[in-house]
Amino acid sequence: MMSESDEAIKHAGKFLDFRETEEGWEYVTRPNAKGCVAILAVTEDKRVVLTEQFRPPVGKMVIELPAGLAGDIPYQEQEPLVVAAKRELKEETGYEAKNWTILGEGPSSAGLTNEFNSIFYATGLTKMTDGGGVGGEEIKVHYVAMSDVAGWCERRQSEGKMVDFKIFAALYLAKHKEQNTEGRLWF
């Protein structure tokens, strides 16, 4: 396997590099981040905390887990993933969480980017601020009964919004982890 340094950078943007392998495979990298984090945050009354914001690449409002980049802040390039997850949860939703569990990790789109996602499960939530994002982000926070996430998301899609599939992956991973541990993640 060829390293990124052996591949041609076709275009270097502010946040993304467009690369091409010797064989002609094109893909993008994030030179300013070490990974992505997403958080399945669940309140004491079993509501999933979701976010909604406009995403220019798809030109629509998108329902998502609270999420963001790790290592993208100057002088904090080695930021641990869980620290980034805690920061993003508070910035986007206003919550801090007492309990953190890693649910899974993997590529977001292996044919398009080397970007890597880590999904965390957060419980023991305490509301600290209004949330809504930073730096001009306009993030709306939703609270959805865990038992109605699929139906709620389907209704948002019928309104013309998009739903990030990581919501369902996180719910599946949390349920699977609960079945394979003595501690119960759902209760």
Give pLDDT tens digits for 144-169: 999 999 999 999 999 999 999 999 99
In this prediction, residue 185 carries a pLDDT of 52
N- to C-terminal Cα separation, the chain = 44
pLDDT surpassing 60 at residue 82: yes
Helices (H), the chain: 81-93, 149-158, 166-179
Q: How far is Cα 180 from Cα 175, in angstroms, rounded to an integer?
A: 9
Distance CA 95, CA 108 (A): 25
Sign of CA dihedral 113, 132, 174, 76: positive
How high does pLDDT run on average in the chain? 91
* Domains defined for the chain, CATH in brackets: 1-31 (no CATH), 33-179 (3.90.79.10)
Determine the pLDDT at residue 4: 54
**What pLDDT, on the 0 to 100 scale, is given for residue 6?**
63
- Confidence label for 135 from pLDDT (cuts 50, 70 and 90): confident
Closest to 15 in 3D by CA, of 65, 75, 71, 83: 71
**Cα–Cα distance measured from residue 62 to residue 75, given in angstroms and rounded to the nearest whole number:** 30
